[in-house]
Amino acid sequence: MKKILVLSCIILGVAMNAQVNRFFYEYKFIPDSNDKADIKTEMMLLDIDQQGSSYYSQDKYVSDSTQRADLEKQMRSGSGNISINRREKPGQVTFKVTKDYPDFKTYLFRSISTDQYKIKEDKKPEWKILSDKQKIGEYTAQKATTNYGGREWVAWFASDLPFQDGPYKFYGLPGLIVKIEDITGSHSMTLVGNKVIQNKTEEKETSLPENIKVFGMGGKEIEVTKDQFRKVWKAYVNDPTKNMREMMMKNGGDSNNRMVFKTRTADGKEISDPNQVFREMEKRTKEALAKNNNPIEPDLVN
């Protein structure tokens, strides 16, 4: 009886424009293939309405909303000083995926340095549906497999949930994907709950002054193909601080628009000399990239 009531709420949500069906997925992933014991966990949200779906990190959404409110408050004060504070839980997963119905036009949103990219997906998952069935949570799910993004995936979909959608870029099965995992066990997404959101309000992008750039916030996304994104990514890996150096050179000659870069070394020492700051940031970025060598979609960054 419980399943019938939940399903009734979901169907009612689809029938009304103002409602969103929110599905909660536990995303477990191994960032570093050389350290398989280090398993990260993030709660991801899949919001579905009549127009399409959106898949994103719950922690990042909360952190971005709070930071956006702080920025808007500071800009309204008119003091001219903007302070950006790092949140305690900024989210480990920074990407977002949207799908537009009915053709499932799919976009991946990712940031590189100070730029944001909207990457159009040019391939759809090709599924092989098998007869195997398994209980996933409260749903009886059926097995399907696909090769996608440089990985082999095993998915379980529930026909009781009448959505041909799923987490990340996955869709096209006769029921919602309630679990999907690559065969190496590096990435898995499992449905752990759902609810109907009444009258969801859309977040408006904060309009930042021209002399202010915040990582992952403000500015219009640059729409690119996957090939174009691969070129940008390769350039970033080779020179992680290029964007910031260009920003400093562009604004350095204007005394009223001078940019100040500060950071701290691993031992807590603050440094403000631009050349030292850039060297420290490049070192940290390359160390982080070396430990984040097991992406969900290897084909996108290789």
Distance CA 150, CA 134 (A): 26
| pLDDT at residue 270, as a whole number | 67
CB 175 within 8 A of CB 165: no
Residues 146-178 pLDDT 10s:
999 999 999 999 999 999 999 999 999 999 999
| pLDDT at residue 221, as a whole number | 85
CB 160 within 8 A of CB 7: yes
Q: In what order do the strands lie in the sheet with 105-112?
A: 128-136, 139-148, 151-158, 176-182, 187-198, 19-29, 40-48, 52-57, 96-100, 105-112, 115-120, 222-224
Q: Residues near 167 by Cβ (< 8 Å), separated by ≥ 6?
A: 25, 27, 44, 46, 55, 177, 180, 189
The helix/strand count (H/E) of the chain reads as: 5, 14
| pLDDT at residue 190, as a whole number | 98
Query: How far from each other are the two terminal CA atoms of the chain, in whole angstroms?
Result: 48
| pLDDT at residue 6, as a whole number | 43
Residues 190-214 pLDDT 10s:
999 999 998 766 655 544 555 555 5
Q: Phi, psi at residue 22, to the nearest 5°?
A: -105, 125
| pLDDT tens, per residue, the chain with 302 residues | 334 334 434 433 344 456 899 999 999 999 999 999 999 999 999 999 999 999 999 998 887 766 665 555 655 556 555 555 555 556 799 999 999 999 999 999 999 987 899 999 999 999 999 999 999 999 999 999 999 999 999 999 999 999 999 999 999 999 999 999 999 999 999 999 999 998 766 655 544 555 555 554 555 689 999 999 999 999 999 988 777 777 666 655 444 445 555 556 666 666 666 667 777 778 888 888 899 999 999 999 98
| pLDDT at residue 280, as a whole number | 75
Which residue type sits at 198? Q
Q: How far is CA 250 from the centre of its chain?
A: 30
- What is the CATH T-level fold of the domain 2-225, as seen in this structure? outer membrane lipoprotein receptor (LolB), chain A (2.50.20)
Triad 241, 242, 244: Cα angle to 5°: 70
Distance CA 59, CA 27 (A): 12
Burial of 62 per CB tally in 10 Å (0-12, 13-18, 19+): middle
| pLDDT at residue 58, as a whole number | 94
CB 117 within 8 A of CB 111: yes
| pLDDT at residue 53, as a whole number | 98
Which residue type sits at 20? V
Query: Does residue 69 sit in helix, strand or coil?
Result: helix
Count how many Cα atoms sit within 13 Å of the Cα of residue 151 in the half-sphere of its side chain: 21
Q: How far is CA 218 from the centre of its chain?
A: 16
> In this structure, what token pair is assigned to residue 223?
């729409």
Closest C-alpha among 53, 48, 47, 59 to residue 93: 59
* 290-296 long-range Cβ contacts below 8 angstroms, 24+ apart: 291/31, 291/32, 291/35, 292/31, 292/32, 293/31, 293/32, 293/33, 293/34, 294/29, 294/30, 294/31, 294/32, 294/33, 294/186, 296/29, 296/149, 296/151, 296/168, 296/187
Distance CA 213, CA 112 (A): 13
